Amino acid sequence: MKILVTGGGDFIGSHLCRKLSELGYDLTVIDNLSGGDQHIADLLEEGKAKFILCDVRDSRKLNEAINTAIDSVIGT
């Protein structure tokens, strides 16, 4: 199952992403990194998540991200 997590680079979102990764989900993370450091660098380095630098208010980039096959969206 492919899941899109908005705000997945922040503290709470990163914990959610780690758990979803452990459960075997295919993750795409959207975050504008306005909260500071990217807390999912390890998941990205290991190829366990795809990252899109995007503000969810940017409808063009958000549409590009959602145009890929996504089964579910989780906002944090």
Instruction: Tell me the per-residue pLDDT of 18-65, one tens digit each, with 9 for 90 and over.
Output: 999 999 999 999 999 887 667 888 999 999 999 988 888 888 878 877
Residue-level pLDDT at 35: 76
Domain limits, the chain: 2-55+71-75
Beta-bridge partner residues of 63? none
Q: CB burial class (10 A; 0-12, 13-18, 19+) of residue 49? A: buried
Q: For 2-55+71-75, which CATH class?
A: alpha beta
Residue-level pLDDT at 37: 65
Is the pLDDT at 68 greater than 70? The verdict is yes
pTM: 0.86
